[in-house]
A and B are shown apart, each in its own frame.
Chain A
């Protein structure tokens, strides 16, 4: 066994560098993850009636909606919400139909949170019938106010 003080100091230094690197990496991941969820929640993108109605089949879209009903076929129906401020949305009369699936990731909640009355941010692809195939659903219930 090597008990040379120089070797011990070097190995000690390596251990500390590795420890600090792990801590910094974990903290950086936590901050990055928080920022990425926060960006999803900011949800500004296309939460706008005009932008939503003009979106073409095959294009990607993002919007915030208030769920009216969820069928057993995982079809989500509701009304589009218009962003007013970061945490305040207003109701519109634009109906939205979203097809969810097992592949759609649910952020800030679970599928159980996708129910009537919930506020969700949808990211997905516009279909030919102007419904949206959901790729990501962010649960915003409680985080935003609706007028």
Chain B
């Protein structure tokens, strides 16, 4: 396998894990969404203890994203691609680190922590947007390419 495989596979799997990590808190909470989808989490176990899949998926997503950035920056030919997209991807990775730290704070918190929870939520929204634009600009997303949106997104960001 060549560098492209490691770069591409790690990027896509990191994307999938990031989305899964974002969904898990909503599925693990005894809310309307989790009930409607039939997940029905047990109320016997405290919410923060039920959240272990979210924590581990988050750690994996962060690790893989870091690996993805590492292999992308490794010496070798660099494909002609959007520089703005690479910067947005880098900001997305930094925000993932921030998200990881906020998550640790929330994991350790004993009482309500609205400010940190708010930051954790908006940081998630930021990551989602940055990852989407990074994939649209730098990844081989056929739909965006066919629609010509790749070019328009590039001109928008640049």
Name A's B-contacting residues (CB within 8 A).
Answer: 8-9, 11-12, 14-16, 19, 23, 26-27, 30-31, 33-35, 37-38, 41-42, 86-87, 107-110, 141-145
User: Given A12-B38, A14-B38, A87 and B2 touching (CB < 8 A)?
Assistant: yes
| CB-based contact A37/B27 at 8 Å | no
| CB-based contact B140/A37 at 8 Å | yes
Partner of B2, one of A9, A15, A41: A41
Name B's A-contacting residues (CB within 8 A).
Answer: 1-5, 8-9, 12-13, 16, 20, 27, 37-42, 76-81, 140, 145-146
Q: What's the least CB distance linking B97 to chain A, in Å?
A: 23
Q: Give complex CA distance A19, B145 in Å.
A: 29
20 CB-based A-B contacts, threshold 8 Å: A8-B40, A11-B40, A12-B39, A23-B20, A27-B16, A30-B9, A31-B13, A34-B4, A34-B8, A34-B9, A35-B5, A38-B8, A87-B76, A109-B140, A109-B145, A110-B146, A142-B79, A142-B81, A143-B4, A143-B79
B2: chain A residues at CB < 8 Å are: 38, 41-42, 86-87
